[in-house]
Amino acid sequence: MTGTATYFDPTSLREIAQRAMDSIGAGDGTSASSDSRARSSVSVRSPIIGRAAGSVSFVDDATITTNVDDAVGRATSVFAHWRSVPAPRRGEVVRHLGDELRRHKDALADLVQIEVGKIRSEALGEVQEMIDICDFAVGLSRQLHGLTISSERPGHRLAETWQPLGPVGVISAFNFPVAVWSWNAALALICGDTVVWKPSDATPLCSLATTVLARRAAITAGFSADVCQLVFGDASVGRALASDHRVPLISATGSTRMGRLVAPIVAERFGRSILELGGNNAAIVAPSADLDLVVRGVTFAAAGTAGQRCTSLRRLIVHSSRVDEVVDRIGRAYTQLRVGNPMSSDTLVGPLIDEKAGRAMTAAIEQAVAEGGRLVVGGERCLADAAPDAAYMRPAIVTMPRQTEIVRTETFAPILYVMSYETMDEAIAIQNDVPQGLASSIFTTDLREAERFTGPAGSDCGIANVNIGPSGAEIGGAFGGEKETGGGRESGSDAWKAYMRRQTQTINYSNELPLAQGVVFE
């Protein structure tokens, strides 16, 4: 891609989006007059320019609805058959989805860039994450194992099995518009569940294109496309999905505020929820830390994706003997970060999602200074002339005398608060003294410090890393956090169990009827 200024032109962004939709097959490159099928359009709003870039047309083949009742009804209907399909056959749908994603990786990454503002490598990485979870789930479809348990009664077998749960509702956020859906959908499908997806309002093209690929994969494997449903709409649509008693599980990703709204709705009807909410992630830098690793790991974790990851690094806790050197080196690295149009190959930091996010970043820095902090570098707006409606912000470093109110509050923007400590007890206490509990890390070459940090008296987060930052995770491990992060788990390990119901079975293959615990009832 050449000519950075070109991509500040809304017409160019719209054309790229339409080409991506055509490549995926959602747009198919034909005009409404030459296509007998119904056609619809979606408005494209891009943080690259901070406003609408026009509309993109697509073939309306029932992949999209604003009616939750209809979507859940279709998902419920097809579940009656889907749950009885052998799990390895269900895995064929996910295998075909992975193939579709490989074929259309570049086109889907285009849409992620346009709607979220990610740089190219991160957009491609998000689609690769989808491919990875598909590969994982296909293998898992042959390993949905239960247990055989020793029975106290002769001639009896005690077993535990896992059964399909039902339609799964997925509510996703803007910052990972396709990967988070795939974590849930790939597992839900191989577990025998159907999927109803309510994506972020900010990313309609990403979700539409992904659903087209998923439904095509189902048809290719010989099954109904209705195993995957898509519903568009505002927060009222999310509430309707969370309220529907036909949806036994809601997996919701977003802010802690959103989780506080969703969780009681689901709990009131005795549904289940997987919540992946706020993160206020920290890294401890010990005296023995390799500072070359620290600078690279911290810079990406704090500034990557413009600080708009739930695992973004927001707090840096540095031993007092190293704090000046660490701030100086990371500060110099920050001055080399290229903030700009994410469609340009030399950009490292793109825009925030909207102007509101930019104002929140400015307000947070002002509050931090009022609470005794010192702005070391960054924090200013960029590219105001080229893209006056967009929120391009230079990543900021703010040193703090202590963990104040604003430091304990998650601001979804590239602000790194730096504090010092004297003892490891103090560092771990600072790390844990926030409401959120998603990701954490420590940089140390001291084995005892590393083991202590990852031990029972160490980090209280769902993710604890050593000598890497908290941002970014492989799909092989379960992803999620504690406290106000919600406590749910997605992706790898045994997270699949959340998408199934546990059933304990007792089989009597004898001619007698002994009761448990020696009870006699003659």
Q: Based on C-alpha coordinates, what's the Rg of the chain?
A: 25
Nearest to 41 by CA among 16, 54, 58, 25: 58
**What tokens does 248 get?**
């036994």
- Band (pLDDT 50/70/90 cuts) for residue 34 is very low
Give residue-wise pLDDT tens across range 46-56: 999 999 999 99
**Spatial distance between the Cα atoms of 455 and 217, rounded to a whole number of angstroms:** 43
pLDDT at position 36: 56
Based on the number of CB atoms within 10 Å of its own CB, is 342 exposed (0-12), middle (13-18) or buried (19 or more)? Answer: buried
Average of per-residue pLDDT across 291-309? 98
Give residue-wise pLDDT tens across range 462-488: 999 999 999 988 999 999 999 999 999
Q: N- to C-terminal Cα distance for the chain?
A: 83
Average of per-residue pLDDT across 258-287? 97
pLDDT at position 28: 64
35 pLDDT exceeds 70? no
- Rounded to 5 degrees, what angle do the CA atoms 207, 189, 100 make? 50
Per the CB < 8 A criterion, the answer to whether 353 and 413 are in contact is: no
439 pLDDT exceeds 50? yes
Average of per-residue pLDDT across 12-25? 95
Average of per-residue pLDDT across 185-191? 98
188 pLDDT exceeds 60? yes
pLDDT at position 5: 58
- Band (pLDDT 50/70/90 cuts) for residue 33 is very low
Nearest to 42 by CA among 104, 115, 97: 115
**What tokens does 402 get?**
């202590």
The model scores a pTM over 0.85: yes
Average of per-residue pLDDT across 339-354? 96
Instruction: Please identify every residue annotated as catalytic.
Output: 276, 310
Mean pLDDT over all residues of the chain? 95
For residue 478, the cross-strand partners are: 491
Average of per-residue pLDDT across 193-200? 98
